Amino acid sequence: MGKIVALLAVTVLFIPLAALAGSDAVKPVPPITQTSALWLGPVKLGVLPAPPIPPDNPQTARKILLGKQLYFDTRLSRDNTISCATCHSPAMGWSDKGPTSKGIDGQMGGRRAPPASNSAYNPLQFWDGRSPSLEDQAKGPIQNPIEMGNTHQVMIRTVSDIPEYVEEFREVFGTSPITVDQVAQAIAAFERTIVTTDSPFDRFAKGDETALTCIEKKGLEIFNGKGRCSCCHWGPNFSDGRFHNLGTHMNMGKPDNGRYDITKDPKDMRAFKTPTMRDVGLRPPYLHMGNEKTVEDVIVFYNKGGGFKDPNMDPMMIPLGLSKGEIRALVAFLEHAMTSLNPEVADVKPIPASELPK
Ligand code: HEC
Ligand code: HEC
């Protein structure tokens, strides 16, 4: 068995790349089998398992609906203008139009909104990993002065003045009064339903050979092989959950120190969390400052070995020598094959204010 797997991996990694070398033309490649797709690269890519659910916040249908209402409710902000969905909009790949986010009073933040979809799989939340859970994370934006600009106290008073919310919270949690923790638990429960299990890649990984086009299969091979992408974007969520310095900051007067500001560990200097590749085509622009406009721009950035020279740059950041054809194949894979088709991610409509609890 080990031999077969090794043979498949070798075949898949090397034959198509050899065929591509020195040529921009996209030639047909032998089909990849399900087994080889799952074994490509250093660690498995594949279909997402159900997200981990913390024992103290079990999923219930009512809690999920309550969380969804709160997620789309601008009344959680100080002046009734901003909801979670303002910056994590289902129509924009659960992010915003960027480059960084515009919060209350039109204030701009310094970082891009990562997608709320599949955030259930992040071992740590935020670009710098400063939050350990979705429950903890959800409390932050409400009283962040440049996001929703409220205080927890005022937010709780507002929600507690809405009779239908009071009733719903009582049904879901069985206690009163409403607490900040309950608001956060409900929102986190909703976020754990925004998960992708049905992209063309997932169909392919489940055995449907026809789910990926030829060029997308080639893109997957480059992602796992010559591009070295899956060294960091690995596992079913296409992220190692770790922090890397890609050289995005050395040109700045006052660089964002990223993970270092949380750990004070020099190896974390200017390092940021590896984002998922799921639905990546739906949420331009890219990187934590939103300074790369398209997926292709990001790949060109990697192809030249990353950004500015930085003493702490990840050693993986070296020029890749990808041809134009190989870049096109990677773009095709990321922009189309990673886009989810599940209705619970792709078709979620914001709840209009008129339909929120009164
Ligand atoms: C004004 C825009 C804005 C609003 C409003 C906002 N967020 Fe965010 N969100 C961001 C930004 C920007 C980040 C990244 C900040 C950082 O990493 O320092 C973020 C990070 C996150 C993350 C972490 C994702 C990851 O991959 O690390 C989650 C989850 C999230 N927000 C959910 C929410 C929820 C739930 C709400 C409502 C309670 C909310 N956000 C409101 C802009 C916003
Ligand atoms: C050394 C680890 C590492 C490698 C190798 C790597 N990435 Fe990344 N990737 C990251 C990190 C970390 C970020 C976020 C960096 C930032 O915002 O500063 C990122 C961001 C991205 C983004 C932007 C996503 C978004 O939501 O903004 C794309 C697209 C991407 N990578 C694709 C690739 C591709 C394609 C390859 C292979 C050519 C690759 N990555 C190789 C770690 C890596």
End-to-end CA distance of the chain: 61
Q: Which amino acid is present at 238?
A: F
The pLDDT of residue 28: 36
pLDDT of residue 307: 85
- Distance (angstroms) between ligand 1 centre and the Cα of 117 equals 11
Please state, in angstroms and rounded to a whole number, the distance separating the CA atoms of residues 82 and 353.
12
pLDDT at 283: 97
The count of other CB atoms within 10 Å of the CB of residue 13 is 18
Taking the CA of residue 122 as reference, the ligand 1 atom at the shortest distance is: 26
Chain-centroid distance of CA 137 in Å reads 15
User: CB neighbours (10 Å) of residue 166?
Assistant: 16
The region, left, alpha or beta by phi > 0 then psi within -120 to 50, assigned to residue 183 is alpha
pLDDT for residue 297: 97
Residues 183/155, Cβ–Cβ less than 8 Å: yes
How far is Cα 6 from Cα 29, in angstroms, rounded to an integer? 19
Task: List, in order, residues 6 or more apart from 347 with CB less than 8 Å away.
Answer: none
Report whether the peptide linkage leading into residue 177 is cis, meaning its omega lies within 30 degrees of zero.
yes
Tokens of residue 131, six digits:
């939050």
Q: How far apart (Å, rounded) are the C-alpha atoms in residues 161 and 163?
A: 6
Q: Given this model, what pLDDT does residue 21 score?
A: 34
Q: Is 121 in the pocket of ligand 1 (CB under 6 A)?
A: no
Q: How many other β-carbons are positioned within 10 Å of the β-carbon of residue 139?
A: 17
Please report the pLDDT score of residue 251 as a whole number. Answer: 61
Expressed in angstroms and rounded, the spacing between residue 274 Cα and the centre of ligand 2 is: 6
| Ligand positioned closest to the Cα atom of 190 | 1
If phi over 0 gives left and psi between -120 and 50 gives alpha, with beta otherwise, what is residue 60?
Answer: beta
Both tokens of 61, joined, read 């249908």
Name every residue whose Cβ is closer than 8 Å to that of residue 84 and which is 6 or more positions away in sequence. 70, 71, 72, 76, 116, 138, 141, 187
- For ligand 2, say whether the CB of 299 is within 6 Å of any of its atoms: yes
Looking at all shown ligands, the one closest to residue 285's CA atom is: 2
List all residues 6 or more positions away from 37 whose beta carbon is below 8 Å from its beta carbon: 45, 46, 204, 205, 220
Looking at residue 44, what is its pLDDT? 74
Which residues in the chain come in under a pLDDT of 50? 1-42
The reply to whether ligand 2 has any atom less than 6 angstroms from the CB of 288 is yes
Q: Which of 118, 136, 147 to mutate to test the pocket of ligand 1 (most atoms within 8 A of CB)?
A: 147
Backbone torsion region of residue 122, taken as left when φ is above 0, otherwise alpha when ψ lies between -120 and 50, otherwise beta:
beta
What is the rounded radius of gyration, in angstroms, for the C-alpha atoms of the chain? 22
